[in-house]
Amino acid sequence: MAEQKVELFARRLDRGVQQAVHSNSAAGTEKRYTVLGKDYSAPDDLRRLAGQIRQHAIEHLDTYLEQAEQSLKRQGAHVHYAVTAEDACRAVSDILQKAGAKKVVKSKSMISEEIHLNDHLGSVGIESVETDLGEYIIQIDGDHPSHIVKPIIHKNRRDIAKSFEREGLGDYNDDPETITRRARVFMRDKYLQADAGITGANFVSAETGRLVLVTNEGNSRFCLAAPKIHIALVGIEKVIPSDAELAVLLNLLGRSATGQQLTVYTEFINGPARTDRPSGPQEMHVIFVDNQRSQILASDCREILRCIRCGACLNVCPVYRQASGHAYRSVYPGPVGAVLSPLLAGKNFKQLADLPKASSLCGACNEVCPVDIPIPDLLLKLRNRGHEEHAPSPGTPPMGAFAKLASSPMLWRFAMKSNKVMNLVPLEKLPLPYLQPWLKTRTLPEWRGGEFRSWMKDRRKK
Amino acid sequence: MSTARDQIFSSVRAALAPLPERTARPVFSKDVAEPHWLATEADSLTLFQKRAEATGTKCFTDMESCAAWLRSQGVRTVYIPAPLTRLAALCSEFCEVTSNYTRARVNEIDAAFTPAAGAIAESGSIILSDESTPDRLAALAPWHHIALVSRAEIHRTIADALAAMPDDPNLIWVTGPSKTADVEGILIQGVHGPGAQACLIV
C-alpha cells in the first residue's frame, strides 16, 4: 500500500540527520519552556493576547496596510506592491537594474525563499549573497532551509567544512568557531562591495512606518550599514497597528524562537538616510508581497496569517522531529508549513494536500504558538478541503466497508455482536499492512461490542 | 497608482467584507509583558548591569578599568570620537587611537567607542541610533564595541523604551555580542558584528 509522502521521507532519512534534527528541536522546546516559565506566571494569557493582536491586525489589513504605506512614504521610503512571486522578483530586479546595482547582500528572509529571489537575481546577472551563516551554507550547497529559524539543522560540521573547502574558504576544518571566523572574513568584503542590501521584516508598524528586524548574527545590520540601497520584502500580513503592540510580540518572539528574552539585535528602521543622519542607505524600498495571502485571508484558515515565524511549532512537533524539514517539500515546514504551504500553493493546492495529514493532531503546536494559532483545527479544515477536491490521499486505509457498516443500523447491530468472534482471531497474522505496524507495539482489548447499546436500552426502560 | 496595489487592496477588502464581525483591537496595560521578577528588582542601573552581564555585555563604570580591559585584549587600533579626550589619552598608552572612522580602515580598527542613545534595564540592551552613533559600521565592524551609556538614559522596561523611541532612521537594541548557533546548535560569538560587546556607564 502507498505510504504518506512525509512518512516515506522520514523512513528513508539518514539516521544521523534525524538524530540531529530531533535533539536540536527538543533542546529548542526545552529552552522556550524554561524561559517562559521563569519569566511569566501565565504565559498562556500572553500568547492569547498576542493572538488577538495579530488576529485584529489581519482582520483590519485594509486599514493598516494603507496606513503603513502612508507612514513609510512620509519617512521617505518608496512603497511597491507585488501580487505574485514573479512580480515580487521583478520588482526587486527592476529597482536594482535602474540603480545599476550588480552586487547584493541579503539577510535571512523567509519570503525571499518563498519567491525564489536568488535564482531570479542570478538569472538577470546580479550577484546575491546570503549573509546569515546558515543561509550562506544553504546557498553554496544549492540546498533548501529545513527549519524556519535554524536553516541548517539537518547538516553537521563535517558537511559544512567540506562545503567551505570546496568554495575556497580555506583547508578542511570542522571546528565551528573556525567556520564562523572564515564566514566573517569572507562576508566583510561582500558587505563593503555590495550596491544594495535586501532584508525581510518581522513587523511593520502602521502608525509609525517602523520596520522591525530581529537577528542574532548582526548580518541584517551590516546589510543596512554598508550598501547605499535598502530593499525590504514584506508579506502584507506583517503589519501591526502600532509600536505599542511590539511590547507583547517582541517579548514572545525571541523566547519562542530561541529561548532569548530578546535576540541580540532588534532593529527599527524608519526611512532612508537623512542629511543630518547620513550613515544608512540613501534609498529605501519596501515591497509588499501578496502571493496568495489575500486568498488565505478570504479562506476559513486566515488565522495562519497571524504567524510570526518563530519555529516553536516545528521544534515541538513529533512528526517534524522524525521527518525533518525537507519532508514537507516546501519553504515552510512543520505544523505551520502543513497549513501554510498548501494554501500558498494556490491552484496547485492538491500537490501539497497530503501535508495536513502528516499530523497526529496532538495539539502541541497550538500550545506553544506565541500567537495561539489553532493549527490542529486548520489542519482538519484543509484535510476536508483535500477530500472535497479529490486530492490524492496515499496512506489512507480503505474505509468503504466501514462506511457501509456504519450507515446501516441493522448491519451495525449485527456486526457489534458477531464481531466477538474477533477475540478468537490471531490479529498479528492478518495480512493487513496498515494494521501490523500498529499491533507491533500495542494489544487490542477484548471485544465487548454491543454492551453500550444494551445498557442504553435498559436505561430507557427505567 | 499601480495596478498591483489596486489588485491587492481589492482582494483584501473582498476577503474581509463577508466577516460578520472583526476582532476588536485588544486593550492591554503597558506592563502586560513584563517578567514577574521585575517588580522586586533594584534600581534600574543595577538591574541593567545584571541583565547586560547575563547576556554577555561587559559593563564598566570607570574609564580606567575599561581601558585596562582593552589592553588585556591586545587591541591595536581604537576609534574614539573626538570629544572623549581623557579616554583617548588612556588608550593611547597602549594602542593607536583614531577619531576618524573610514571604510578603508574597517578591518584594521579592532575596537570602537560610540555613544549610545540609551539602554534598557529589563533586557540589558544598549540602544544605538544614527544620531548617537553617526557611523553604523563603527559600532558593528570592530571586534570590540564599547557603547557609552548615560545613567540618566536607562529605560526600566522594553515597553518604556518602545514608548520613548526617538525620530531616527535607525534604532538598534544590542543585547550581547553578535552570535550564532547555526552549526550543530553550538554557540559561537562574533559572527558579523562584535565578538566582544561592552558598555561604559558614564
Please tell me the distance in Å from B98's CA to the nearest CA on chain A.
Answer: 19
Residue-level pLDDT at A2 = 66
Average pLDDT over residues B133-151: 94
For chain A, how far is it from start to end, CA to CA, in angstroms? 50
Residue-level pLDDT at A421 = 84
Q: What is the pLDDT of residues A39-84, one digit of tens each?
A: 999 999 999 999 999 999 999 999 999 999 999 999 999 999 999 9
* Residue numbers of the domain that contains B73: 42-201
DSSP state, residue A282: S
Q: Is residue B177 part of a domain?
A: yes
Please list, in sequence order, all residues whose beta carbon lies within 8 angstroms of the beta carbon of residue A289, skipping any fewer than 6 positions away: A82, A85, A88, A111, A115, A233, A234, A235, A236
Candidates A98, A235, A341; CA nearest to A90 is A98
Q: Is residue B33 part of a domain?
A: no
Whether residue A1 has pLDDT greater than 60: no
Question: Coil, helix or strand for A226?
Answer: coil
Q: Is residue B30 part of a domain?
A: no
Is A252's Cβ below 8 Å from some Cβ in B? Answer: yes
Q: Is residue B162 part of a domain?
A: yes
Of B9, B24, B190, the CB nearest to A56: B24
The count of domains in chain B is 1
Where are the extended beta strands (E) located within A277-383?
283-289
Grade residue B2 by pLDDT with cuts at 50, 70 and 90.
low
With CB atoms and an 8 Å threshold, state whether A151 touches B32: no
Average pLDDT over residues B90-119: 95
With CB atoms and an 8 Å threshold, state whether A83 touches B4: yes
**Count H helices, E strands: chain B?**
5, 12
How far is the C-alpha of B170 from the C-alpha of A279, rounded, in Å? Answer: 9
CB proximity under 8 Å: B 118-177 to A: 122-123, 125, 130-131, 133-137, 140-141, 158-159, 162-163, 165, 167-177
Of B22, B168, B179, the CB nearest to A216: B179
Chain A residues whose beta carbon lies within 8 Å of the beta carbon of residue B4: 80-83, 87
How far is the C-alpha of A164 from the C-alpha of A177, rounded, in Å? Answer: 13
Q: What is the pLDDT of residues B111-120, one digit of tens each?
A: 999 999 999 9
Query: Which one of B2, B10, B12, B197 would you mutate to disrupt binding with A, by most A Cβ within 10 Å of its Cβ?
Result: B12
Q: Is residue B82 part of a domain?
A: yes
> Which range (A1-15, A30-44, A147-161, A182-196) has the least confidence?
A1-15
Please tell me the distance in Å from A13's CA to the nearest CA on chain B.
Answer: 18
CB proximity under 8 Å: B 80-99 to A: none
Q: Which amino acid is at B40?
A: T
Q: What is the pLDDT of residues A81-130, one digit of tens each?
A: 999 999 999 999 999 999 999 999 999 999 999 999 999 999 999 999 99
Please list, in sequence order, all residues whose beta carbon lies within 8 angstroms of the beta carbon of residue A182, skipping any fewer than 6 positions away: A164, A169, A170, A173
Of B7, B16, B135, the CB nearest to A61: B16
With CB atoms and an 8 Å threshold, state whether A39 touches B36: yes
How far, rounded to the nearest angstrom, does the alpha carbon of residue B125 sit from its chain's CA centroid?
Answer: 6
Query: Which one of A23, A262, A286, A306 would you mutate to disrupt binding with B, by most B Cβ within 10 Å of its Cβ?
Result: A262
Between β-strands B179-180 and B188-189, what pairing exists: parallel, antiparallel or unpaired? antiparallel
Q: Is residue B10 part of a domain?
A: no
**CATH classification at residue B82:** 3.40.50.10420
Q: Is residue B157 part of a domain?
A: yes
How far is the C-alpha of B69 from the C-alpha of B145, rounded, in Å? Answer: 12
Global ipTM: 0.96
Of B8, B192, B194, the CB nearest to A187: B192
C-beta separation of A293 from A345 below 8 A: no
Cα separations in angstroms, A359 against A79, A90, A336, A338, A366 = 39, 36, 11, 9, 13
Q: Is residue B36 part of a domain?
A: no
Domains along chain A with CATH numbers: 42-291 (3.40.50.10420), 413-461 (no CATH)
Please list, in sequence order, all residues whose beta carbon lies within 8 angstroms of the beta carbon of residue A363, skipping any fewer than 6 positions away: A376
With CB atoms and an 8 Å threshold, state whether A216 touches B159: no
Of A152, A179, A250, the CB nearest to B158: A250
Percent of chain A whose predicted confidence (pLDDT) is above 90: 83
Kindly state the cell numbers that stand for A119. 535564482
